[in-house]
Structure formats: structure tokens, C-alpha cells
């Protein structure tokens, strides 16, 4: 394994821009990622196009797939970002749009999986949009695997992501009755006031002790300043650490009732990603820490994070999952996105050793490797 090759592979992928919303750009990026992956893995990937988006899958070896490596090649960066944020290596820092989230992780996945029998590498093209077309594919592959390793960038300090909050997304629509705001406001049912009542009720559903946040976000009501508004809507972002909390909040959201006489409410949406709970990652985390000690690497910290990834989906179907195994750096989605070059090689060696250990373990009966939610 060679650091210069890891860096060269990363640069090749970073220098092909791949904003999620641009289908042509994602398709071009898929070809570059396929070329890099084929060079390291020795075989071409399957190209899976779903809803116009290109995903890549490598099945390695002759035996059944036991370990799933997960990544994505789409980014949040708009076309033309390379002009202002070129891919550079200065000293120990690699920069460029998508280098941390998560094209370095893709290079690491290819080098970690090379030559290993029983590994599937899945690289999707719509993760930054919430994986609308690839979710079913991710869940399908996870059900076949005994472990899922997600090569997203590490948490601060190189921490692995042993927990990720689940996400639910809602729209709360309220309906009242329009009236002239100056002549006869009493004839109206004010959607703005009903919206305020509902937003306050929703905000109270959070539980800081359990790490549950329920946040009203974008809102609108009415069309003109001199009219009692008849309609309004606001969005709600929910983050939870457990499936039980996701279910509790969902039930509460669906039981919202109007406060004002004559008003009605309508809630749409629901859970978007299940949580990656600690129980799903605990065994893999202990394995990684033991391997790091054997390799003479620093102690590997772990972190619970609020952001979601495709690891939420793999854990959601019961597959043991460990996330944040990719690059060490920071600045995801921001001007200072970067990767620490001197940590790429040791992290890749760690992932490769973990894959080898998992493959060397006795094959489990179908489903017995999967963890059970409490």
C-alpha cells in the first residue's frame, strides 16, 4: 500500500466535479470512480442507474459477500468550484471540493478491499440528497452482509462514528379562513396564529436528556399584508438517538390538533433515516481498537454525531455498522474542507486489517450476525 497512490487516486476523483443535482456530472464522476476502482480492485464495477443516477458495485472474490464497504461519489459542491477551490497538496494538507466528504474515503476503500475475497464495495451517487434512489440498494446489500463499514470522514480528532442520530422530516400545514385584516378580521381564522401554536407545540416534543431535537424550520403563511391568512406551512427537522424516540415523536406529530376554532392541521412526512445506535457498532468498535493497538496506532476514539449517512440505513436493517472510517480532516461542505495526508495510510491499513479479520472469522448463519434492537 502506497501513500502516493492513495493521494493520486483521491486527486483524480476530486478533480471530476460531482454535484448531486447534476445528473450528467454524477455520470461523469461515476466513470472516473469506476476507472480508479478497477485499477485498484482488478475488476470493473456494475453500473446501476436508478432514477438517472449512477451507482457502482464491486463484488470481490468467488465466495459470498460478507463485508460491505459503503461510500458515495456525489458532493454538495456546485460545478465550477474547482476554479476557486482547486485540489492541492500543501505540506500535510490536501484540499479540494469533496476531498473529505468523501472522495478520500473512496480511495481508501479501494486500497483496503483490494485482493480480499468476500467483500462488496458500494459507491452511490445521491447520498447528499438523502439517498432517494439508492436507499433500497444499500439496504439490500446490507442484508447480505455480516458487517457494514462506512468510509465517511472521521469525527474531530479522528474519532469513529459509533452513533448517528436518526432523521425525520415533516411538513405541518394549517388551514384557516381568509378575511380583510382591516374591515372584518373577526370573520377570519388566522393561519399565522395557528401556525405559531403548532410550532410551539412541536418544539416542546424535544428531549434534551435523550438527545432528541425537534426543530421547526422554514415557515410561510399568507400572501398579502392586509389579509387574514388562510393557509400556512412549516417544516420540522427531527434528530433522535433511538428508534423508540423516533417512534414517539412520529406518533406525537401525527396527533397534532388545531387550537383555533375553525382551523385544521395536516401533517405529512415521517422518518427519513433510522438511527445508527451504539449497539449496532459496539462489537466492530472494539475490534478496531484491538487492531489499532496491535498495529501500534494511537487509541481510536469514538463519537456520537447528529448528522446522518448511509450507515443509518445499513444499521436500520440490523447489520452491524461502523462509520467514520474514512479520512481524518474536517471542513465538510465548507471552504476549509481538507484531509490530513499523514493519516491516510495508517487509517487505510486499519480498515484493511479490520476487513481481513472479519473475513477470517467463521461464517455465521444467515442473519445471526445481525444485531437486535432493544
Active site residues: 74, 127
Are the C-beta atoms of residues 283 and 354 closer than 8 Å to each other? no
Q: How many Cα atoms within 13 Å fall on the side-chain side of residue 313?
A: 23
CB atoms within 10 A of CB 160: 22
Q: Coil, helix or strand for 243?
A: helix
Whole-angstrom Cα distance, residue 41 to residue 58?
8
Are the C-beta atoms of residues 120 and 59 closer than 8 Å to each other? yes
Q: How many residues does the structure list for the chain?
A: 374
Which triple of cell numbers denotes residue 183?
Answer: 374591515
Whole-angstrom Cα distance, residue 104 to residue 109?
9
Cis omega (within 30 of 0) for bond into 102: yes
CB atoms within 10 A of CB 224: 8
The sign one gets for the Cα dihedral 287, 290, 294, 296 is: positive
Bridge partners of 123, per DSSP, are 56, 71
Are the C-beta atoms of residues 228 and 178 closer than 8 Å to each other? yes
User: Residue-wise over 227-236: b if at least 16 C-beta within 10 A, else e?
Assistant: ebbbbbbbeb
Amino acid at each position: 500500500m502506497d501513500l502516493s497512490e492513495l493521494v493520486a487516486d483521491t486527486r483524480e476523483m476530486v478533480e471530476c466535479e460531482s454535484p448531486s443535482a447534476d445528473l450528467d456530472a454524477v455520470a461523469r464522476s461515476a466513470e472516473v470512480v469506476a476507472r480508479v476502482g478497477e485499477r485498484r480492485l482488478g475488476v470493473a464495477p456494475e453500473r446501476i442507474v436508478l432514477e438517472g443516477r449512477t451507482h457502482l458495485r464491486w463484488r470481490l472474490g468467488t465466495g459470498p459477500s460478507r463485508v460491505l464497504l459503503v461510500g458515495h461519489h456525489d458532493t454538495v459542491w456546485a460545478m465550477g468550484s474547482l476554479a476557486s477551490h482547486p485540489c492541492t497538496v500543501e505540506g500535510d494538507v490536501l484540499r479540494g471540493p469533496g476531498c473529505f466528504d468523501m472522495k478520500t474515503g473512496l480511495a481508501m476503500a479501494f486500497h483496503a478491499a483490494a485482493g480480499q475475497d468476500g467483500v462488496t464495495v458500494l459507491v452511490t451517487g445521491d447520498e447528499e440528497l438523502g439517498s432517494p434512489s439508492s436507499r433500497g440498494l444499500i439496504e439490500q446489500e446490507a442484508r447480505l452482509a455480516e458487517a457494514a463499514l462506512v468510509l465517511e470522514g472521521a469525527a474531530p480528532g479522528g474519532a469513529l462514528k459509533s452513533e448517528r442520530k436518526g432523521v425525520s422530516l415533516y411538513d405541518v400545514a394549517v388551514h384557516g379562513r381568509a378575511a380583510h385584516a382591516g374591515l372584518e378580521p373577526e370573520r377570519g381564522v388566522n393561519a399565522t396564529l395557528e401556525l405559531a401554536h403548532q410550532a410551539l407545540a412541536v418544539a416542546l416534543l424535544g428531549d434534551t436528556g435523550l438527545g432528541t431535537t425537534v426543530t421547526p424550520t422554514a415557515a410561510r403563511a399568507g400572501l398579502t399584508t392586509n389579509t387574514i391568512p388562510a393557509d400556512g406551512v412549516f417544516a420540522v427537522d427531527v434528530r433522535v438517538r433511538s428508534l423508540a424516540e423516533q417512534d414517539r415523536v412520529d406518533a406525537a406529530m401525527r396527533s397534532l390538533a388545531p387550537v383555533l376554532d375553525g382551523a385544521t392541521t395536516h401533517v405529512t412526512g415521517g422518518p427519513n433515516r433510522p438511527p445508527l445506535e451504539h449497539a449496532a457498532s459496539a462489537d466492530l468498535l472494539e475490534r478496531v481498537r484491538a487492531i489499532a493497538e496491535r498495529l501500534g496506532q494511537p487509541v481510536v476514539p469514538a463519537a456520537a454525531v447528529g448528522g446522518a449517512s448511509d450507515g443509518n440505513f445499513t444499521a436500520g436493517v440490523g447489520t452491524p455498522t461502523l462509520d467514520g472510517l474514512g479520512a481524518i480532516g474536517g471542513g465538510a461542505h465548507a471552504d476549509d474542507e481538507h484531509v490530513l495526508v499523514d493519516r491516510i495510510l495508517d487509517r487505510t491499513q486499519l480498515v484493511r486489517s479490520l476487513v481481513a479479520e472479519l473475513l477470517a472469522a467463521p461464517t455465521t448463519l444467515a442473519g445471526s450476525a445481525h444485531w437486535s434492537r432493544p
